[in-house]
Amino acid sequence: KWLVDGKEILNQGLKQFSGCFQVFTGVGPKIVIPNRFADEIRNDPHMNFGKALSDEFFGKYPGFEPFNSSAESTIVADMVRGKLTRSLGLILDELSDESSKSIKYTLGEPEEWTEIPIKLKIIHLISRLSARVFIGEELCENEEWLTLTENYTINAFIAARELREWPTYIRPIIHWFLPECRQVRRDIREARQIIMPVVGKRRERNRKAQEAGQPTSKVADTIGWLDEAAKGRPYDVAIAQLGISIAAIHTSSELLTGIMLDLCANPEYFKPLRDEMYTVLGEKGWRKTSLFEMRLLDSVMKESQRHHFGDIASMSRFVEQPITLSDGTTIPRGALTVVAIDRMHDTSIFPESTAYKGRRFLDMRQQPGNENKWQFVTTSAEHLAFGHGKHACPGRFFASNEIKVALCHLLLKYDWKLPNEDRLEDKIFGQEAIVDPDAKVLFRKRIEEV
């Protein structure tokens, strides 16, 4: 029942109980914590996100190892916070160049209105953009690697959904035989075959440089950054790279697809967005501050994220030691918990919360004291799309830049509209909420003004 009616079950629980309550999910019981406790638990050292992710996506099973990497070490998170985020200003030109090239490759330049499955095209685009930054020159245009990262991202989620439909006691056996699980194991093997020769050559080159007393080469991509962040700690390169790809491709492609569908359903935002892009890029080009000044774009993205957050709950945690909330509720060791996101649709915070208002967060930021609170990358108890606290998504700053750059190219180079008046509703699979993969849009080339 959870797989089909998870959202309704959560809503019923929130209406029935004022405090914590338990739901039975595809991976076992979870305790739903009311949103009012989000700030209270956001930095609790006894609540572990990595272990919760591993449990949700069977990270201990072969083929699902990328979902277990953050449970076993902080190397990837350290790399994202310490290297990737600090380099964002330096890679804007790269993102723009790759966006221009990849969009033309993915979409072409049709003169007439052309119908496409928007989600599939966005996945292709995001995988190429991410590869340009993450994997370096050796592999960013390697079609085998690009196809693999796209496919693994899709295959892993499908395999996890399939596995959740089986009873807990049979999963350790049945996963060896399910076609979906066998496929993700093949994907892992292929990833190793592609990436390990590249990593091996780099490490051998650096070893020889050290022996000769020469400085080692430092390449600005995640292959080199992971080695630096590891500081000698052992880690699996292929698993780490697939984990990074999952986070980048799945979350960014879901959101960018949702934004494009929202704009097609609310076409009145196309002109003011393009005007903002023309003004900022015409005056400043791709500088570090350019994207910050696209405040309407930032607001549109956050509003789409509010409507199409990829889960029906947030802040998934595994409780490592018993914790007691301020209302006296004790949550036992070993529990899986989530925080309700009902305040993201609370009319006292977001008037007309069911309506799509692209200027909503722009207007809220204009209120005294709120200039920074409602930015796309800012987390709060009222907007939990990136989580909150110490485990908030560390890659959200890169995702913000990547999506903004892509949107500039998509909107300035093409016209967009829906084939019909209504957009398709999102699909719910247990705790997941995804944009319908069958959604179609119409597009055509337009004359660029910048």
Point out the annotated binding site for heme: 393
Q: Please compute the mean of the pLDDT values over residues 113-124 and round it to a whole number.
A: 96
What backbone torsions phi and psi does residue 137 show, to the nearest 5 degrees?
-65, -30
Tell me, yes or no, whether 143 lies in a domain: yes
- Asked whether the predicted pLDDT for residue 64 surpasses 80, the reply is yes
Length of the chain: 450
pLDDT at 217: 62
Domains of the chain: total = 1
Q: Please compute the mean of the pLDDT values over residues 300-309 and round it to a whole number.
A: 94
Tell me, yes or no, whether 450 lies in a domain: no
Owning domain of residue 84: 2-445
- Asked whether the predicted pLDDT for residue 18 surpasses 80, the reply is yes
Point out the annotated binding site: 393
Asked if residue 160 lies in contact with residue 246, where contact means CB atoms within 8 angstroms, the answer is: no
Q: Please compute the mean of the pLDDT values over residues 1-12 and round it to a whole number.
A: 87
- Cα–Cα distance list, 338 to 9, 35, 40, 341 (Å): 14, 9, 13, 9
**Distance between CA atoms of residues 440 and 17, nearest Å:** 40
pLDDT at 76: 92
pLDDT at 57: 96
Q: Is residue 350 classed exposed, middle or buried when 0-12, 13-18 and 19+ CB atoms within 10 A define those classes?
A: buried
pTM: 0.93
pLDDT at 207: 79
**Distance between CA atoms of residues 59 and 67, nearest Å:** 5
Report pLDDT digits (tens) over 325-367. 999 999 999 999 999 999 999 999 999 999 999 999 999 999 9
pLDDT at 399: 95
Identify the CATH number of the domain in which residue 207 sits.
1.10.630.10
Give the ranges where 308-441 is alpha helix by DSSP (H): 360-365, 396-413
Q: Please compute the mean of the pLDDT values over residues 130-151 and round it to a whole number.
A: 87
The DSSP code for 332 is P
